[in-house]
Amino acid sequence: MQSDFSEPKTSADRRRILSSLGLDRYLKKRNCIDLGELPVHCELYLSQPEDPVILFIPGIGTYSEIYTEFLCRFSALGYNMVSVDLRGHGRSGGPRGDYTVEEVVDDLALVLDYLDEHLPGPLIVFGCSIGARLGLALAEIENRVDALICHTLFLSECPPDFFHSLGWNWISFNAIWMPQFKTDFRHFIDINDLLEHNPMGQHAAKDDLMVWEYPLRTLNSVYSHKSRIIKESLNIPALIMVGEKDDVIRPGYLRSLIDSSAQHFDMIEIPNAAHMLPFDHIEETIKASSDWLKRFDLD
């Protein structure tokens, strides 16, 4: 089942925070819809029905609403932006943080069915950080995807270094015996540093829509999922974007990944940028993405 466009229920405290941060002016332009029985929550920033569609997949722990400025400003350039809260994230249903890559791909296929009916323009998948790995998984099995933008990327076949390989193997082994054992990713990533320039960052620790803990089942699925692109091309335009100073996924790793892949990727480095491009470098990220998309006949 699906609902009509509606505004999600928001507490008075949250409305005050969003207003004080100046985000309400962007949120006024969104439409929201829930799809399926789970349901899968989507936030839409609409241009014209025939314009290209960008399906946005948020990064780890996050959800659509905190990307509102990025989504709204990107849409203003003539794109229908459709952002998805992954199952177990944001306003989507499901146990918090609990999914497999296959489950997410099925959820995204449900979103594509909706888009086929209501927004039939060319489809670009834009995955952010861990969302890029999920976006690639979708593009590998869906011929409805016309282009792919990855804000960073990793493949299980090509660990960034020995320590990542060791960590991924540890997750795989322990997920066999303790699939629902949860680990807090803040132990491994400095979230305060990453969210420093996001307006909602100062409130993230108390944000009940954020996900901090993930079961090993989820992490194992993401970090062990095999890719087609090592051996074959998807035959669609594909881009990897990264901050020049990204310490989470380094540009050097991405260059080696591209060299190892049968799929051609263009690569854009945003100068003086770290990992959180859609938060810290909104204007540069949108311009680089839209300039790249203009190179292809996606009308």
Q: What is the reported pLDDT for 2?
A: 46
Question: What's the structural domain count of the chain?
Answer: 1
Neighbours of 9 (CB within 10 A): 7
Reduce the DSSP state of residue 27 to 3 states and report it: helix
User: Does the residue 280 lie in any domain?
Assistant: yes
User: Does the residue 1 lie in any domain?
Assistant: no
Neighbours of 184 (CB within 10 A): 11
Q: Is the link from the previous residue into 122 a cis peptide, with omega within 30 of 0?
A: no
**What's the CA gap between 86 and 57, in Å, rounded?**
8
* Whole-Å CA distances, 83 to 19, 67, 79, 216, 226: 21, 9, 12, 25, 25
**What's the CA gap between 191 and 205, in Å, rounded?**
9
User: Does the residue 201 lie in any domain?
Assistant: yes
Q: What is the reported pLDDT for 192?
A: 67
Cβ(116)–Cβ(127) below 8 Å: no
Q: What is the reported pLDDT for 176?
A: 95
User: Does the residue 4 lie in any domain?
Assistant: no
Q: What is the reported pLDDT for 4?
A: 64
Maximal C-alpha separation, the chain: 52
Q: Which residues are within 8 A (CB) of 123 and not within 5 positions of it... i.e. 6 or more apart? A: 52, 53, 55, 112, 115, 144, 145, 146, 147
What does pTM read for this prediction? 0.94
Q: What is the reported pLDDT for 287?
A: 97
User: Does the residue 299 lie in any domain?
Assistant: no
User: Does the residue 49 lie in any domain?
Assistant: yes
Q: From the DSSP assignment, how many helices (H) and strands (E) are in the chain?
A: 11, 10
- Domain hosting 237: range is 12-293
**What's the CA gap between 297 and 145, in Å, rounded?**
14
User: Does the residue 278 lie in any domain?
Assistant: yes
The helix (H) or strand (E) run that includes residue 32 is strand 31-35
User: Does the residue 137 lie in any domain?
Assistant: yes
Q: What is the reported pLDDT for 102?
A: 98
User: Nearest-CA neighbor of 132 among 290, 278, 31?
Assistant: 278
CATH code of residue 118: 3.40.50.1820
**Mean pLDDT, each 10-residue run in order, the chain (299 residues):** 63 77 89 96 95 96 93 97 97 97 98 96 97 98 97 94 91 95 83 68 78 95 95 96 94 96 97 91 96 88
Q: Find where tokens 């890719």 sit.
A: 227
